[in-house]
Amino acid sequence: MSPAGDGTPLFAGSIPEVYDRYLVPLIFEPYAIDLARRIATLPVTNVLELAAGTGVVTRRLAMALPASVFIVATDLSQPMLDHAASVGTSRPVEWRQADANQLPFDKASFDVVVCQFGVMFLPDKARAFAEARRVLRRGGLFIFNCWDRIEENEFPHLVGQVLAQLHPRDPPRFMERVPHGYHDTATIRRDLSGGGFSSEPRLETLAARSRAAAARIPAIAFCQGTPLRVEIEARDPTGLAAATDAAERALAARFGHAAVDGRIRAHVVTVEA
């Protein structure tokens, strides 16, 4: 996934591995299944994925779509793509580093452009949407999802509150600012229009559950598997373990000391080129 354009770092270092091991099954898998199912109902010959990350949607698309459907999975972060390629897919796909604001593909090249929880990271969303529209064939679909407000996503909301208590003068706000910072549906519609989409987008709000075997898992996932880690370490270079432990204690107190189960909610957006 690309950076937010405000100094937020790329998903690099050990983050891709932690992200894929902990965060993907915790919050991304249910929505990846949903996107793949939607696309599998369409008569497509090729699909372009933006902000593929460690390949959770890519893997689902590879399983859900016929072998004849060509899949190109892109991301700005080469470390994320490298990890995705190392995990692999059930059949060949093309992994390609690409900037969503300047896609290296010809006009009208794809039937579907899909993006799972990546548009929030785009510094110029209207421009990126214009690029998605440019590479879509007439009548093709742009399908993406984005998180609803952080208050509707219980685990990251609680982790954010814990970190604000640890660093009250300068709370780490990455989760609130970026992943959960693009939830206003009027803004989404405006940006799609600014990107040249003239058809009315369809927006659905889809709730799911975030489950883990123990509170330690979401604590590690959010504190160590996202750029929130960089913000924590910027405030205290030796404070990552303490922050993770504090998040674990709060999650266990709220959701239980064994398996934990929290609400997650996101918007799914479909618009025709």
- Look at residue 101 in the predicted model and tell me its pLDDT: 96
Tens digits of pLDDT across the chain (273 residues): 443 333 344 444 467 788 889 999 999 999 999 999 999 999 999 999 999 999 999 999 999 999 999 999 999 999 989 999 999 999 999 999 999 999 999 999 999 999 999 999 999 999 999 999 999 999 999 999 999 999 999 999 999 999 999 999 999 999 999 999 999 999 999 999 999 999 999 999 999 999 999 999 999 999 999 999 999 999 999 999 999 999 999 999 999 999 999 999 999 999 999
Q: Are 134 and 103 in contact (CB under 8 A)?
A: yes
This prediction's pTM = 0.92
- Look at residue 16 in the predicted model and tell me its pLDDT: 78
| Encoded tokens for 11 | 């998903």
For the chain, helix, strand, coil in percent to 5 are 45, 20, 35
> What's the rounded Cα separation, in Å, for the pair 22 and 18?
6
Helix (H, G, I), strand (E, B) or coil at 165: helix
- Look at residue 60 in the predicted model and tell me its pLDDT: 98
Fold of 15-150+178-211+264-272: Rossmann fold (3.40.50)
Q: Are 81 and 95 in contact (CB under 8 A)?
A: yes
- Look at residue 14 in the predicted model and tell me its pLDDT: 65
